[in-house]
Structure 1
Amino acid sequence: MDENELVQELIDKNYVKSKVKEIALSHGLTEAQLKKFYSMKFFSEIAEDLDLQELANLNIEEIASKVSDEKQQKFKFIKTELKHIIEKSLYIAMTNGFPVNINDIESGVMTANAGDSAEFIFVARAILAGFNCSSVDVRSSRYDAIIDYNNKLLRVQIKGISTGSNISFKDRDRGGQGIDHTHATNIGQRITSEDCDIYVAVDKQVGICYIVPMPWADSLSLEDCQKVKLTDIPHYKENWDVIKELTASD
């Protein structure tokens, strides 16, 4: 299939995203496949026009202009390190985050693999942060990893997030052909402190972890626990101190 032809068809439709499905159908593709192709191609082409070092310098200048006078010396102290991490972050941004299914694995298999990837991302990051952390291999377990800290074991349930801005402290209802989704055994159960001590939502696109203590989640109503906005829990974004706080509370 001619990639240039696919791009030209989108150009002819003025890059209107709602027209991608129409183009995809005419070529025997799914809308998701074609959107992924366009995104990868356009990110790559735009990146060719950018100098990340130059962009990092521009970011540094902008940040410097926003820092108050009394904090300028502190800013100068971290300036070089900040520039380096900004350049790395810009690289990830211009590749649209971590690569996803570049080998076109079947969607059902990829969904399961993606769930595993979120678990591995968290375990790796916890180890990097200095915690003794291991995956739990029994899939029927209500938690995915264990953290051994301060002579206490913490059970961690891990969920991957990629799109949207909400997390849920309730399992999905079981569905599919031949399954009665209204039956009690198929209705998703609420996730509580009986299941795990910490709930972690891992942004699979960039690796950010939302580390939520279950006592906080337990305090939510049944309705509220099913749709928690990430913007409402900034305190738990990359808050690795949650692990220490939970072990210190006993």
Structure 2
Amino acid sequence: MPLVMDKYFSNGWVTRTSGSGAVTITDGVLNSTGSGTDTAMKDYWLPVTPGQVVEFSCLARNNGDEARIAIDNIDYAGNFANLDWINVTASEFRRYRLRCVVPYDSSYGWVRVVLGKWGSMSVSHDADYTDPVVAVSNGFGTTSVIALGLIRLQSGTVDLHPTFRSYNIDSVSFNGTYTVTVTLKTPCYASMRPLVFVSSTPDSCYIPQAGSFSAGDPTAFIVKWTDGAAVINVSAVTSLYAFVKVEL
């Protein structure tokens, strides 16, 4: 599934520099320069699940000793494992491609695409990158579920139903009147907001609704119930459920 990526290396792209390393963007072309243990790179993060295929391509040229493109499997704390990388060798713009699969046993919730020079590359670096394209697929051409679960609210106490499948939900909490807050284990950036779906069970006459999505760390959203006319106080409801699915 091709994803919207800012081709001007702004929204969603993170700049990382150290020492004399520098990155500049001119007319949609990213230039990174540095030497020694300098850092001069841009990276772009995507939430993923094990088994997904990540494909990235861009036009790039090498104006110095060494230039690279990499894809890492990473968590929000910065722990990572490299999935693949390629050395840019052409002195004129040429399209380079990387394709990798998120490992089935991965505990990291993200991949990041890295363009430029990181500190361990002790080389003279000068490179240009443009026209980045990224796609994430799960082999079936459908959307990717990044979190799911069944919320159970019983007389003011909330949890995830233990006998139903749940994934990537860190916690659920109830404010005592109207609102259940759902917090995800894997943060989502504001530039890559997923879609949140909630539904009820046949034995309930109340309708769950999701909203107030908050990106960053932590990533959270709220669930409230209505009777079709207004939001209701659910603190005294004996038993109430809501299926939650978060898709990208």
**Taking structure 1 as the reference length, what is the TM-score of the superposition?**
0.27
Larger strand fraction of residues: 2
**Taking structure 2 as the reference length, what is the TM-score of the superposition?**
0.27
| Structure number with higher relative contact order (C-alpha < 8 Å, ≥ 6 residues apart) | 2
